[in-house]
Amino acid sequence: MSILPYGQSDTPNWLLAGSGSLVTHVAVGALLLGGLHPFLTGPGVAPDQPRYSVTLQPLDSNTLAGLELREGMAGAEAGTESSPPEQLAALEGEAEHTSPEESEVEKLAALTPAPTEALPIEALPPVIADPVSPEAEPSATDATTLPPEEVPTSSTAPLSPLIPEDTSPLIPETVTALPSSAGDPVAVAPITSGAAVAAPVATSQIASVEPVAALPSPVSGATDPGRSTGSTTARPPASAQDLAVGDLIRKIRSNAGAECLLTLPRRDGEDGVGLDMMAAQDTAFSRFSETVLTQSDSDLRQTRTLLDPRQCPAVEYIKDNRDYPATRLGLRLDASSVASGTRLTGVLRGTAGKYVALLLVDNNGVVQDLQRFLSQSGNFTRFDVPVTRSGPRRDTAQMLIAIASRSPMQQIRDRNGRLAEDVFAGLQGSLSGQAALAITTFDVR
């Protein structure tokens, strides 16, 4: 007989109680460890993410004109190839006035054989000849006297040395600036507020660019018919900056980003690389940096410019160009921020032999053609535009778009003063993505 207050033990009940106790202890231990974990371990280290520096200093938009994507190692030697005409025009100030055949003459002089010493002439022994008997002279009766022949005297003029024909001196061709002409005022759609207006001027004094002298022509000579006559110069090796800009262009082309977002690579100084960003929404800047840029792009500086949504058709027109995000024109402003009532000045590069259109897309979306404020000289086009701000100042900027084409751009000129959505819609020919472009922004205080 058992004296314990409980009966015989049941095995399933013991197993159930033990399992419950184990689960309870494990849960309590997990809670204690979770609560003490911040105290037992050091502060958490944030993952290494690229950081970008955003600057208000405008990047130079003139140094990317004609950029070609190049691969390889920085500073590597490259072969020779024909230089494009734009690069030859840039070298005109450094051309040395030397004879093209100077190096060939030096080579020929080096190959001239040394003079040889004359061999002495041996003296020959004298030869004794037999005496010759003189012939008998004819008698006086046999000789007949002939009258002297009359030689006709011809009056001959004295010979004078040959005198080369007098040719007029060659005058080097120079390209002078086009005379400034005052066009009739163009009717512009009424602007309500905050827009930069290009005020028509009756007689605008257009600043002209100094004449560009032509390069000295090579000395004419016989050319080998089987050899090309084109000039060949050695392309400079790709620098680290060129390779970095080319890599950034490939990243942008593989990921265009959000709508109404322009991302334009720029050179930042002699060695740095920058990124000029324009968008209608502020969140598009950070989203592009997080999704497209990598740790290797953390050193590049960014400029972020806010646009008005009514300027977005111009943005999409630029993105549809075949060269985007690179440019084939150079565009430099003398100042990116101008006071109202003053003039916006700058220069375009790479416009030789092309029709040029300079368009102002204000922050109301109105497009104005600035053709009458242009002055072209050789490969450069200078502009001097009077601007006036109407209404209160806003956070959005004014866009300046340069377009160059081999054919006239009458489609653009016929749509002057209309909204961007009407101007850049349905363009044909070279204006449908084939023209050379340049883009920048400015602010009117």
pLDDT digits (tens, 9 = 90+) for 349-377: 999 999 999 999 999 999 999 999 999 99
Range of the domain at 248: 56-63+181-209+236-444
User: What is the predicted pLDDT for the residue at 237?
Assistant: 74
- Asked if residue 379 has pLDDT above 70, the reply is yes
Using CA atoms, how far residue 133 sits from 115, 128, 130, 234, 334, in Å, is 50, 16, 10, 85, 110
- Pairing relationship of beta strands 343-349 and 367-369 according to DSSP bridges: unpaired
State the Cα–Cα distance between residues 318 and 438, nearest whole angstrom: 9
Cis previous bond, 125, omega within 30:
no
Beta bridge pairs of residue 315: none
Q: How buried is 165 (Cβ within 10 angstroms: 0-12 exposed, 13-18 middle, 19+ buried)?
A: exposed
- Pairing relationship of beta strands 380-390 and 301-306 according to DSSP bridges: unpaired
Is 322 a member of any domain? yes
CB 417 within 8 A of CB 368: yes
Is 46 a member of any domain? no
State the Cα–Cα distance between residues 366 and 80, nearest whole angstrom: 47
- Residue 381, both tokens: 């086009």
Is 218 a member of any domain? no
In terms of Cα–Cα distance, which of 195, 189, 188 is closest to 442? 195
Q: How far is CA 224 from the centre of its chain?
A: 34
Is 227 a member of any domain? no
| Residue 340 φ/ψ, nearest 5 degrees | -65, 135
Is 139 a member of any domain? no
User: What is the predicted pLDDT for the residue at 104?
Assistant: 46
Q: Is 223 in a helix, a strand, or coil?
A: coil
CA angle 424, 426, 432 (to 5 degrees): 75
Which amino acid does the sequence have at 81? E
Q: Is 29 in a helix, a strand, or coil?
A: helix
CATH number reported for the structural domain that contains residue 351 in this entry = 2.60.40.1930
CB atoms within 10 A of CB 215: 13
Q: How far is CA 247 from the centre of its chain?
A: 16
Sign of CA pseudo-dihedral 195, 415, 374, 60: positive
CB 262 within 8 A of CB 279: yes
Is 269 a member of any domain? yes
Is 373 a member of any domain? yes
State the Cα–Cα distance between residues 104 and 296, nearest whole angstrom: 49
State the Cα–Cα distance between residues 175 and 381, nearest whole angstrom: 12
Confidence of residue 268 (pLDDT cuts 50, 70, 90): confident
Per residue in 157-216, pLDDT (tens digit) is 444 444 444 443 433 343 344 444 444 444 444 444 455 555 544 334 434 334 333 344
User: What is the predicted pLDDT for the residue at 159?
Assistant: 44
Per residue in 277-308, pLDDT (tens digit) is 999 999 999 898 888 888 777 778 889 999 99
In terms of Cα–Cα distance, which of 362, 375, 364, 357 is closest to 411? 357
- Number of domains, the chain: 1
